Amino acid sequence: MRTTLKAAGIAALGALVLAGPARAQSTKVDPAVVEAAVKGMFGHAPAEWQERIVQDETQKACSLNRNQPPADIANAITARETKNVVLPADGKFLGDWKSGEKIAQSGYGGRHTDDPKRELGGNCYACHQLSKTELSFGTMGPSLLEYGKIRKYALEDAKAAYIKIYNAQAVFPCSNMPRLGHNKHLNEQQIKDLVALLFDPESPVNK
């Protein structure tokens, strides 16, 4: 059964790729079939991981609308995810930028085989440019060079950055950026350290 579901999932994905953009937009996929295929692919993951395979309301809405939800659904997503954001109790959003740089440049974590005692990384470098001296960086997300300098290091902008890192869906519905705080991949202090990387004048981001 597991092998059959794997094959079904791969075949379905392959069909969508080969169909091209125009064809894919008109192709209707049964969500139940896709969900069953995904569960089959991750059938060997530990029991405590199985619940992570199940999409929540926001993920389902984005999947069914191919990450381009109509205005009413998009507004519902941002409203729901904004309520899920937990801001620091002390009201402070800036941590240590040097720790933030280590977190941003680490892609560790997110696999069920990883050491739970080892600190997880934000994997930020995979999508963003963080320094003018970097030789290689991802381009899926925008460059973050001079992020704090451009915003004149304003506290409200630091708060907005914290929210974006904690739960990107609260800012951009169906964002490709993971909900790092909401999914408990990063803790409060780690997110503060990442915000400091973006806003501290001494950070390589702002040099």
Q: How many CB atoms lie within 10 A of CB 197?
A: 32
Tell me whether domains 2-83 and 97-206 share a fold. Answer: yes
The answer to pTM > 0.85 is no
Domain ranges for the chain: 2-83, 97-206
Q: What is the pLDDT along the chain (207 residues), one digit of tens a residue?
A: 333 333 344 344 443 333 444 444 545 667 788 778 777 877 777 777 777 778 899 999 998 899 999 999 999 999 999 999 999 999 999 999 999 999 999 999 988 788 989 999 999 999 999 999 998 899 999 999 999 999 999 999 999 999 999 999 999 999 999 999 999 999 999 999 999 999 999 999 999
Domain 2-83 has CATH 1.10.760.10: yes
**Structural domain 97-206, CATH architecture:** Orthogonal Bundle (1.10)
